[in-house]
Amino acid sequence: MKSSSIKTLIASATLALAASQAGAFEQSRTAECIAPANPGGGWDFTCRSVGKVLTDIGLIEGNVQTVNMPGAGGGVAFAHTVSKRGDDSALIVAASTATTTRLAQGQFAGMDQEMVRWVGALGADYGVIAVSKDSPYQTLSDLMSALKEDPNSAKFGGGSAAGGWDHLKVLIAGSAAGIEKSSLPKIKYLAFNGGAEAITQVVGGHIEAFTGDISEAQGFMESGDLRVLAVLSEERLPAPLDGIPTAREQDIDAVAPNWRGFYVPKDVSDDAYQWWVDTMDKVYGSQEWQDVMTKNGLMPFHKSGADFHDFVQQQVKSIKDISTEIGLIK
């Protein structure tokens, strides 16, 4: 074989090897995390806290930029991801049970859970019902008794849209407390662009109660402005949140975990998707993330990749059934 032919073969092999190596995904630039609500809420917390761990433990180069994109209970961010960022491998979007609730109820017009790829969940943020420090309601039982007498006696505010997960928490608790099914739709719920905005309205005396997650309420609890009547968990949360009674302790069998996780655009490569799955597994297993969970009342809950995809499918079906039963959808 002539030396020129050998050189050609070597050059071709080198190019083929380079092409094959180029196919392996590497997150080499600053990533972006969309929080589908205003700063201060649960999605914002998810983006900022996970983004910090990603950089602190060296899983990503540069920083993870949090972009707040409120609107339609997460629908604006979902539509943006589907229509404008379909193959952006440097994008992750914060999601939760609030996301699957909106999908289950058909609130993201013309869109469903199959239009994105579900990466993983990194903990569960349990629901709370809270009032201002000056509220006459001392317990969840007090509040539910008032609603039994008059469904209009207290207005609730939350960071999800009407009919969303925050709204559902009140209806689940009300149903468990014995409020008549016909009265549940009469309970007033006001939707805000994030939990912090809703809490501000409660603290300011404009509405009576907040329905959201413990991570949203914790700072206001520590300042003394907000009193949590109940956490909607199976048992009390770990210290320093173990002073909050559960709804079950008050004979109201209401449990409402809100997982915290991410999806990515549907058209990212399989390699890029798997990189995000593997990377979030590493985040969850890190001491840094375990410390964040403990500090913010997140409970252990981890699913990723195909397992998480199947979980999302099942949860969408389950919430659709609940919403139909309560009368939110037909």
CATH number for position 310: 3.40.190.150
Q: What are phi and psi of 154, to 5 degrees?
A: -145, 135
- This prediction has a pTM of 0.75
Total domains present in the chain: 2
Same domain, 141 and 244: yes
pLDDT (0 to 100) of residue 318: 83
Same domain, 109 and 198: no
Q: Which residues pair with 157 in a beta bridge?
A: 190, 210
Give residue 324's pLDDT band: very low, low, confident or very high (50, 70, 90). Answer: confident
Give residue 198's pLDDT band: very low, low, confident or very high (50, 70, 90). Answer: very high
Tell whether 197 is covered by a domain: yes
Q: Copy the structure tokens of residue 167.
A: 């709204």
Mean local confidence (pLDDT), 23-43:
84
Q: Answer with the one of 202, 220, 250 that is the final residue of a domain.
A: 250
Give residue 240's pLDDT band: very low, low, confident or very high (50, 70, 90). Answer: confident
- The domain of 240 spans 126-250
Region for residue 111 given its phi and psi (left: phi exceeds 0; alpha: psi -120 to 50; beta: otherwise): beta
DSSP state of 124: E
**Closest to 256 in 3D by CA, of 247, 264, 268:** 247
Mean local confidence (pLDDT), 23-45:
85
Give residue 24's pLDDT band: very low, low, confident or very high (50, 70, 90). Answer: low
